[in-house]
Amino acid sequence: MGLKIGMLTSGGDCQGLNSAMRGVAKRLYEHDKDVEIIGFLDGYAGLMFRNFRQMSIDDFSGILTIGGTILGTSRQSFKTMHDPLFSNQKDGPTKLEAMIQTYEELHLDCLVILGGNGSHKTANLLSEKGLNIISLPKTIDNDLWGTDMTFGFQSAVNIATEVIDGIHSTALSHGRAFIVEIMGHKVGWMTLHAGIAGGADVILIPEIPYDPMSVAAAVNRRAREHKRFSIIAIAEGAKTKEEAKMSKSDYQEKIEKSPLTSVAYRLASVLDKLSIQEVRCVVPGHFQRGGTPSAYDRVLTTALGVEAADMILDKKFGRMVGIVNGKVVGIPLKEVAGKLKSVPLDHYLVADARKTGIFFGDEQLDYV
């Protein structure tokens, strides 16, 4: 009897989920045509509520270039894993117990989990409870600890860069300052890469709190140097120096009270009063997570998927498959779970960007 493998995609969607599952499946089918793959629908929810479908080799054909996930996905908070599965049944199983029960009743040999930070904390919890787990690093934020690159990141950067590229002509035509908001709540990898690639003049990321007055000064200085426009790439999680000093609750309260929920529009409301140029905002939002995966991500997910399958065959469980120094390796889940990979302040890209004149909002510039 062949292997019986479960598979699910958890958390936010991104490009490359389908191609990663394809890589795992094609390698397993190549090894044993009798392998049985069960796809859990809508992430961990499918595992909790036994919502799954039997996959066939045909399900993994023709999905290399398709974005999103054929299994569907959902967000399940790690903090609630010990809560009752059904809120009205206090004596029933917890969410964690329900997932373990499904795994055991289906007699799975391994569960393959494709997810980001939160998903990996749950994956590690399941591994600690004795389940055979292999995970793959999915997130456009590239913020998973233990891997140099996550899949979905490069595809999303390409889209964000195209947005910034497209803004150049209208910014030039009208002589305006444009603020482009890039996804990234906690880290600025996407904004840093897309900002440099798109030729942004100002890059604002969560790791480097900024001074709005200095940003306005930088925009005005460019205008007085007869530069017709300025482009500001800002991460959705960027904070001012004042906001960075706030407690999490105080900051959340400030955001909830603000009529402007978008960081780009909050910055624009300040620059409107200080800039000598008109200010406009562009928020591409979830568009950055959609569409076909880039060639880079197709290659990356295939390599990660094949390695994940090989780890299953070699019974090397409790690991996330990642890229370290150009090599595909397995990283223990316990070393990955709960850790965030932020942009180091001394990262070479930050230093190189500064050397080309890109402003990060942290330097004090006199407002004139």
Here the contacts of 55-58 (C-beta below 8 Å, separation 24 or greater) are: 55/7, 55/25, 57/25, 57/29, 57/33
Q: Within 10 Å of residue 115's Cβ, how many Cβ atoms?
A: 28
> 207 is written with which tokens?
């790791």
| β-strands 319-324, 133-137 pairing | parallel
> 343 is written with which tokens?
């942009």
What are residue 22's phi and psi, to 5 degrees?
-60, -45
> 33 is written with which tokens?
């045509």
Q: Which residues partner with 38 through β-bridges? A: 6, 54
Measured in whole angstroms, the distance separating CA 188 from the mean position of its chain's CA atoms is 11
- Grouping H, G, I as helix, E, B as strand and the rest as coil, residue 211 is coil
> 254 is written with which tokens?
């400030």
What are residue 83's phi and psi, to 5 degrees?
-80, 160
Sequence-distant (6+) residues with CB within 8 A of 63 are 18, 19, 21, 22, 70
141 given a catalytic annotation: yes
Q: Within 10 Å of residue 144's Cβ, how many Cβ atoms?
A: 27
CA distance 143 to 41: 25
Choice among 13, 141, 211, 310 that is catalytic: 141
Measured in whole angstroms, the distance separating CA 141 from the mean position of its chain's CA atoms is 3
Residue 325's Cβ-count burial label (10 Å; 0-12, 13-18, 19+) is: exposed
CA distance 120 to 341: 13
CA distance 353 to 159: 20
- DSSP sequence for 135-157: EEEB-TT--BTT-S--BTHHHHH
Which active-site residues does the annotation give?
A: 141
